[in-house]
Amino acid sequence: MTDQHHTNPPFEGPEKLLEIWFAPSPAHVPGADAAPDGKHGLRKVSRQVWDEVLAIVKCQVLSVTYGEEIDAYLLSESSLFVSPHRLILKTCGTTVNLLGLPRILEVAREHADLPSVYRLFYSRKAFMFPERQHGPHRDWRDEVNFLDDIFSNGAGYTVGKVNGDHWLLYITSPGDDSPNASLANSMTEAADSTVVRDSENPDETFTVPDYTIEILMTHLAAEAREPFFTPDTPDLSPSENALSLSSSIGISELFPAHLTTLDAYSFTPCGYSSNALIKWGSQAGEGAESDEGGEGYYTIHVTPEEGWSYASFECNVPLPTTPTNKAGSIPDLKTLIRRVVNIFRPGRLTLTLFISSEDNSTAEEEDGLSAIEAAQRAFKAALTNPAAVQNGVNGADGVALKPGVYKRTDKINYEFGGYDLAFATFELRS
């Protein structure tokens, strides 16, 4: 989302999202036992090397936040998140995300002792202006072919209406026919979840589901777009301006401030990006309900121009599906959706929840509600009912829908190898 892109409209807001797992968890990465500070695996790679990778992709680093478990790079076109075992590269505009993949695989092998890919995910919303893309990104079939040339165990999917809002996904899975099977075969028991070691009792482990929620919004209301046009404030840096904006419109309050480390940037003449690192569960300190926990992220990117307005929200913190009365707690899924939608007031939006399927299987065996069906109910409850949530829950006055009431236009649940997807689209009722 570099400044010059906004002088040559239209700008492509929807991002290309590449997520590469080189191991099921940080504990499976070489050198984990000798790196108590978490600086092993991909986190050992220098900033200079990542700069070289991003130059291939056609973007650059604006700032970096170093967390306890994740390094969050704010980019000129979206974000890069680096964990010991996993890399997430999200880029917008006309970046060539996939062309950086071969170099990323080399970096993992040469700098992090990670010679094989455990799993790979590539996804994106349908582009607004596909004719402006470069390389394999002009057409979904070309992207799939590019990935198939590297991986023999991948599959591409189109989720949603081909002639309407849809979401595209390419996913690989561990298997004997994969060139990366040597690593996968030794880790099959960890295929559906991340293994986390207790820092005080390292011999004890528990599993944490892999969880990603995306809210992809278009046709933003004029009053929601206006704050993202950067005023001429020479006394404030782009980061200072963005942090002030984040506070004034409610982004800073999406998660409790004491659990959040926020980095943000305002572009000239318009546009906004932010990364946040979030402590959750046991890592959030006093009052945690279980031993599970860690550091997650959310990221927001905004293209506010009329005609192609777009905002995205992505988060990998596992959210409860029901509210909690504890002050300063992580919001439930319904509350978070409403908070995000109230900031951007989209005319249309797509929601996806992508989660490792262990939770779904357990729920179905116990005749319970699967995680993705619970998410679908939360999606609908958040957007089709204008009433505020119960007073005193995650805010003294509850969270009412400011834009109005939405109608659901599509709902799909999908089962992949080891993962399940909840997909839904909504549009504002006239």
Contact 277/70 with Cβ under 8 angstroms?
yes
Burial class (CB in 10 A: 0-12, 13-18, 19+), 188: exposed
Q: Are residues 264 and 374 in the same domain?
A: yes
User: Which amino acid does the sequence have at 162?
Assistant: V
Question: Which among 334, 333, 122, 412 is positioned nearest to 423, based on CA atoms?
Answer: 412
Question: Which among 112, 124, 176, 121 is positioned nearest to 16, based on CA atoms?
Answer: 124
Question: Which among 10, 18, 165, 16 is positioned nearest to 92, based on CA atoms?
Answer: 16
Is 22 annotated to bind a ligand? Reply is no
Question: pTM of this prediction?
Answer: 0.89
Would residue 220 count as lying in a domain?
yes
Quote the domain boundaries for residue 338. Answer: 211-388+399-428
User: Which amino acid does the sequence have at 126?
Assistant: A
Does residue 237 carry a catalytic annotation?
no
Would residue 248 count as lying in a domain?
yes
Q: At what angle do helices 47-57 and 101-112 cross, to 10 degrees?
A: 170
Does residue 186 carry a catalytic annotation?
no
Kindly state the helix (H) or strand (E) to which residue 424 belongs, with its residue range: strand 419-428
CA 170-197-84 angle, to 5 degrees, is 45
Which string of DSSP letters, residue by residue, matches 347-386? EEEEEEEEEETHHHHHHHHTT---HHHHHHHHHHHHHH--
Strands of 293-303's sheet in order across:
260-266, 272-281, 293-303, 310-315, 211-220, 346-356, 419-428, 406-415
Which CATH number characterizes residue 230's domain? Answer: 3.60.90.10
Is 151 annotated to bind a ligand? Reply is no
Does residue 315 carry a catalytic annotation?
no
Q: Are residues 254 and 384 in the same domain?
A: yes
Backbone dihedral angles phi then psi of residue 28, each to the nearest 5 degrees: -90, 0
Is 267 annotated to bind a ligand? Reply is yes
Catalytic residue among 6, 25, 76, 92: 92
pLDDT in tens, the chain (430 residues): 545 444 467 999 999 999 999 999 999 999 888 877 778 999 999 999 999 999 999 999 999 999 999 999 999 999 999 999 999 999 999 999 999 999 999 999 999 999 999 999 999 999 999 999 999 999 999 999 999 999 999 999 999 999 988 999 999 987 433 444 344 334 433 434 444 444 344 443 335 679 999 999 999 999 999 999 988 777 899 999 999 999 999 999 999 999 999 999 999 999 999 999 999 987 776 455 556 789 999 999 999 999 999 999 999 999 988 887 777 789 999 999 999 999 999 999 999 999 997 655 555 544 578 889 999 999 999 999 876 434 334 433 467 888 889 999 999 999 987 899 999 999 999 8
Number of domains the chain is built from: 2
Q: Are residues 173 and 255 in the same domain?
A: no
